[in-house]
Amino acid sequence: MSLRVGIVGLPNVGKSTLFNALLKKRVALSANYPFATVEPNVGVVAVPDERLTKLAELVALEETGEKVDPSTGSTTLTTNTLRTSRPPVVPAVVQFVDIAGLVKGASVGEGLGNQFLSHIREVDALIHVLRDFTDENIVRAGSENPESDKATIETELILADLQTLDKLIVAQEKEAKVSKDSLETQKLQILKQIADDLNAGKSIARFTIDDEQLTNWFKTLPLLSIKPVLYVYNVDEEEYGQTYHGRVINVQENSLFICAKLEEELADLSEQERKDYLKELGIEETGLERLIKKAYALLDLISFLTAGKKEVRAWTIKEGTKAAQAAGVIHSDFEKNFIRAEVVEYEKLIEAGSHVAAKQKGWMKIEGKDYIMRDGDVVEFLVGS
């Protein structure tokens, strides 16, 4: 499942620096002038998931016939033996796109507005980077208030959507008149309602429709304002790890505070050096790790896990996906020839110490094609030929 998250914001807010940190290499041009990025940079980033390593170690123990002491979680195998004998892990991934800076007037072509807006249309969700750091050496494209900068970008997206809606409404009026189908008339009414809401300053991010067919149609509309958004406040280094900032008035659940410059420096450290630094600060994970996980959740994604001697892997699916559909993510034939799934919760499997023990405890369940998958399900699919 290839899903894309676009990184947007005004020029010089730290988008490319954040993107560089995400990819752990400087592929984007960080420059102290607007439009340093013209063509969007694209990179695939692994979703941090500590479950994979533990699951791989469990598989290694099963292959060697070793037992885990349930009271201590220990084994007679050395850490080095476990590391070398465990199967490779394949994490879930999210595709990030570094989109050039938008400016006021982008909806009517200011800056490189039309080109950038087209890039935004191609992504599934947005990370909106807001400048909340002080650096006199970096030109400030917006105000000193991140909330004002947020409104600037949101306004441009709304104005672009209103232009799109004007065209969609004209086309839909013709379609409804010609077909005389009640469904086409309902589509026209929905388009007009969306336009009214945007003109009234209302958000359409949570616009809901009761009818499933119309909901699926709504999701295909080329609108920017319906995309889920994660707001990332790019703060000064001394504020690293804080969850609240005094200058930010409306701190929302879909907000995160990150020092992009520091995250880029941390990305260059070894894993142990990074852990030591975070330990000194009393922080368990980097801002980037939190960002990637939030981006994954933003798209309503979950992971189911497969654990075999060849690999331990996280597979990406949407919340609400049924077992047969999940099998199809591995291979299309698996969905067509689905018979059943053996499912155990990750936590239960780790507690049991092996698949055999999980079965003996009654924690391994046999599920049919309509079973709704849950995050962390460890699954083995049985399929026909």
Residue 57 lies in a domain: yes
Residue 307 lies in a domain: yes
CATH of the domain at 68: 3.10.20.30
CA distance 330 to 304: 11
For the stretch 2-35, pLDDT in tens is: 688 999 888 888 888 888 888 875 444 444 444 3
For the stretch 93-122, pLDDT in tens is: 888 898 876 656 544 555 444 667 788 888
Q: What is the pLDDT of residue 26?
A: 44
Out of 68-72, 270-274, 347-351, least confident range: 68-72
Smallest CA-to-CA distance from 231 within 139, 144, 128 is with 128
Residue 58 lies in a domain: yes
Smallest CA-to-CA distance from 98 within 127, 138, 139 is with 127
Q: Give residue 98's Cα distance to chain centre.
A: 14
Q: Is the dihedral of CA 283, 276, 95, 371 positive or negative?
A: negative
pLDDT of 162 higher than 80: yes
**CB 287: neighbour CB atoms within 10 A?**
23
User: Total domain count for the chain?
Assistant: 1
Smallest CA-to-CA distance from 322 within 302, 308, 307 is with 302
What's the average model confidence in pLDDT over 39-63?
87
Angle between helices 146-179 and 113-121 (to 10 degrees): 70
| H helix or E strand, kind and range, residue 307 | strand 301-307
Q: Two tokens at 273?
A: 């050096």
Top pLDDT among 69 and 187 is at 187
Smallest CA-to-CA distance from 24 within 204, 270, 239 is with 270
pTM of this structure = 0.79
pLDDT of 241 higher than 60: no
- What CA–CA distances, in Å, run from 149 to 11, 101, 155, 301? 11, 12, 10, 29
**Residue 336: domain span:** 50-90+303-383
Is the CB of residue 330 less than 8 Å from the CB of residue 323? no
Out of 82-96, 100-114, 198-212, 226-240, least confident range: 100-114
Is the CB of residue 316 less than 8 Å from the CB of residue 303? yes
Q: What is the pLDDT of residue 22?
A: 86
What's the average model confidence in pLDDT over 367-385?
96
Return the residue matching tokens 């970008």: 153
- Across the strands, what pairs with 367? 341
Smallest CA-to-CA distance from 147 within 160, 168, 170, 131 is with 131
Is the CB of residue 230 less than 8 Å from the CB of residue 298? yes
Q: Which segment, 144-158, 220-234, 327-341, is predicted with the most confidence on average?
A: 327-341
Q: Give residue 63's Cα distance to chain centre.
A: 34
CA distance 96 to 7: 7
Residue 277 lies in a domain: no
CA distance 123 to 98: 11
CA distance 85 to 79: 10
Q: What is the pLDDT of residue 29?
A: 42
**What's the whole-number average pLDDT of the chain?**
83
Q: Give residue 277's Cα distance to chain centre.
A: 26
Q: Is the dihedral of CA 168, 100, 137, 283 positive or negative?
A: positive
- What CA–CA distances, in Å, run from 177 to 168, 187, 194, 213? 14, 12, 20, 20
Residue 103 lies in a domain: no
What's the average model confidence in pLDDT over 256-263?
88
Residue 154 lies in a domain: no
Q: What is the pLDDT of residue 136?
A: 62
Residue 292 lies in a domain: no
What's the average model confidence in pLDDT over 327-354?
96
CA distance 298 to 123: 13
